[in-house]
Amino acid sequence: MIRDLCDGQLEGAEIGSTEITFTPEKIKGGIHTADTKTAGSVCLLMQVSMPCVLFAASPSELHLKGGTNAEMAPQIDYTEMVFKPIVEKFGFIFNCDIKTRGYYPKGGGEVIVRMSPVKQLNPINLTDRGCVTKIYGRAFVAGVLPFKVAKDMAAAAVRCIRKEIRDLYVNIQPVQEPKDQAFGNGNGIIIVAETSTGCLFAGSSLGKRGVNADKVGIEAAEMLLANLRHGGTVDEYLQDQLIVFMALANGVSRIKTGPVTLHTQTAIHFAEQIAKAKFIVKKSEDEEDAAKDTYIIECQGIGMTNPNL
């Protein structure tokens, strides 16, 4: 996909290959289609293409096909509800239009992402977590799965959260995906917590054959609660997704996190090697974080400038 976005040369990109050579050219805007032809994640296609098209010569429209709610990747709901509002703090906006949802194993989902290029990215400072003010989400079923499954996932998640957070209304909507907007069968849930300073955290889970609905709901709720305990301003999944933007931004960015994940360490390693950005990861020195495993990731961004604008 990235080769096509920039008319580049790509060698060795086949199954079984142990090395690739990529030679990029000028990043083009316009309409691009990328199809995994499986339940491969459209969100991962979006993750890799977004930093590139921000520095394109003209606006882009990305037609991404595959899984929208798949394992081992963000669900499209996470991308819309958590990733989008936070990443837009870097000073750009994008539109994500979900045409069809696709699930494992069939895929068949499609989203259209539209965005305009920027001259530069602004640095961000996400170090003040605030307190949780809202908890909301959606529990969905698609295809042949009964609506009761969505209601059961939602109810189990609400019960689980109530044990720990008693003073907030938890609003999880059960949803039957319309037949014409979902391909194949699937079920899952995403729950988002919002804080007084605009931080967003999520827990999510997907149903699998033979796993009862309550268990799916509880898994998502427990993931959310774990992400609210560490005192950071981002959850464990947003952490690594912000690294590339911090590296490219013009100035110093700071985010407060829980334990630094292997994904984040990897992203930092490559951002330092390839973009020559400088990162410092240190334990948070704030009093309220003393007993917690909380870190500050600081980055001196390279101030990447769009040569086309």
Res 227: pLDDT: 96
pLDDT of residue 288: 87
Is 240 assigned to a binding site?
yes
Please name the CATH architecture into which domain 132-230 falls: 2-Layer Sandwich (3.30)
So what's the pLDDT on residue 75? 98
Taking the C-alpha atoms of residue 204 and residue 183, their distance in angstroms, rounded to an integer, is: 20
Rounded Cα–Cα distance for residues 194 and 201 (Å): 7
Q: Tell me the one-letter amino acid at 153.
A: M
47 is in an annotated binding site: yes
Residue 273 annotated in ligand binding: no
Comparing CA positions, the residue from 149, 214, 215 lying closest to residue 186 is: 149
63, 230, 263, 269: the active-site residue: 263
Averages of pLDDT over each 10 residues, the chain, 309 residues: 96 96 96 97 97 97 98 97 98 98 97 98 97 98 98 98 97 98 98 98 96 98 96 97 98 98 98 98 92 95 96
Q: What pLDDT does residue 290 have? A: 87
Give the pair of three-digit tokens for residue 132: 């949780």
How buried is residue 187: exposed, middle or buried, by Cβ count under 10 Å (0-12/13-18/19+)?
A: buried
DSSP state of 57: S
Other CB atoms within 10 Å distance of the CB of residue 163: 9
Q: Return the pLDDT at 12.
A: 97
User: For residues 286 and 289, what is the distance between their CA atoms, to the nearest angstrom?
Assistant: 5
Q: Is 263 a catalytic residue?
A: yes
Phi and psi at 182, nearest 5°, equal -150, 140
In CATH terms, the fold of domain 1-115 is UDP-n-acetylglucosamine1-carboxyvinyl-transferase; Chain (3.65.10)
The pLDDT value recorded for residue 91 is 98
Axis-axis angle for helices 147-164, 213-229 (nearest 10) = 30
User: Across 76-154, where does the E strand assignment appear?
Assistant: 94-102, 109-115, 125-126, 132-142
Measure the CA–CA gap between 216 and 133, rounded to whole angstroms: 24
Q: Can you tell me whether residue 139 is helix, strand or coil?
A: strand
Ranges of H-type helices in the chain: 2-5, 42-53, 76-78, 84-87, 147-164, 213-229, 236-241, 243-248, 262-270
Q: What is the pLDDT of residue 289?
A: 85
